[in-house]
Each structure stands twice: as structure tokens, then as C-alpha cells.
Copies of this chain bind each other. A is one copy, B any other.
């Protein structure tokens, strides 16, 4: 494998990463919507928002066009087929989606989108902290939209497990690796591994983030 791609190959690699991340998040949205017993349209919309929301917000903020789902419009058909297929399959098999089942594609998507978003922002000449933030937004915003539409407090902010923090550290890994003149491809793989890996460790170990502890949060 060539670890130092030229601009054209890098663009191809980033598209491949975004495709995979989109698929992973679509699955996670599918499961979340099913658990809320939304109807067929709701399932499709929530899966779509989760899959495309982060990348679209990144592109709006960076003023980048066309969007991923405009340039690769076929992905919209894939999403539609996936939703219809999953609903038919679930109904036939009397299977029920579990919360746990959604966590693994979600962790994978987290790492992929972090690396992808951070790299794209760096390519546009953003300062390192802004690039890392763009990576976090790409990785986290889809899930936040999913939770807002399902009328939950976004789990990224409230479940007390590291989530955005994994994206944050993954983004800095990419920035650091590139600063150390590591080959581009290796830096991306490293960033994905750090973000997804840390999230996996967090899920496996029940490590929790520090929480605000005041005397009486309901007092006035």
C-alpha cells in the first residue's frame, strides 16, 4: 500500500472513508429509529440524518460544494433500499434491534468521520484546533441530530461515556502525525484507530467522564 498518496488518490481515499462512515452511521440510525418505533418514513429520515448530517454540516461550515450526497447521489438510493430491506427483514424474522447492536457501527463511523473531517478542514487551510473541531462536528453531529429528532438529550453529551472526546483525541492524532511528517495514509489510519479504539475501550470498560457535582443542582 502506498502511504503517501498524491492529491487525486487522497481525494479518492477520503471519499472511500466517507462512504464507509456513512454506511456505518446509517446502520446506527436505523437501529435507533426502530427502537423508537418510528414509521417507515421516520426510520428512513433518521437513518439519513445520522448518515449525512455530520458531513453536510461540515460542508456548510466550510462552504464546500457539492455535498457528498449530491456528488454521489446513488447513496440516497442505497439508503432507501437499506431501510426498506431492514424493515422487511425485521418484520419477517421477528428480530428486534438492540441498543448494543447500534454501538459498533457507531464507533466505527466515529473514527472514520473524525479522520475524514479533520483532513478535509486541514486541506482548506484551517488552523489545527478548528480542523479538529470540524472532525468532531463531522463525527458527532449526525448522532446529535438523530437524538434531537428522536426527542432525547443527545447521548454524546449526557451518557457520561467518552464519545466526542474520542473524536477530539483522534483529530489531534492526525494533526500530530502530519506534523511529525508521517505519511498521509498512515496518519489517517492512526487517527481512525485512536478514535474508534478509544470508543471501543470506553464501551467495554464503563469508564465515565467527570460529571458536574454541585451541592444542590435543583436549588435556585
Contacts and interface: CB of A to CB of B under 8 A. Distances in A.
Interface of A: 33-43, 45-46, 56, 60-61, 63, 65, 67, 69-70, 73, 76-77, 87, 90-91, 94-100, 126-127, 129-130, 133, 144, 148-154, 156-160, 162-165, 208-220
Nearest to A214: B96
Copies of this chain per assembly: 3
A37 B209 CA distance: 12
Given A73-B130, A98-B219, A217-B34, A157 B41 contact: yes
30 contacts: A34-B214, A35-B217, A35-B218, A36-B153, A36-B158, A38-B211, A38-B212, A39-B159, A39-B209, A39-B211, A40-B212, A42-B157, A42-B158, A45-B156, A63-B65, A73-B127, A73-B129, A76-B129, A77-B129, A91-B210, A91-B213, A96-B216, A96-B217, A98-B220, A100-B220, A144-B149, A148-B149, A149-B153, A150-B153, A151-B151
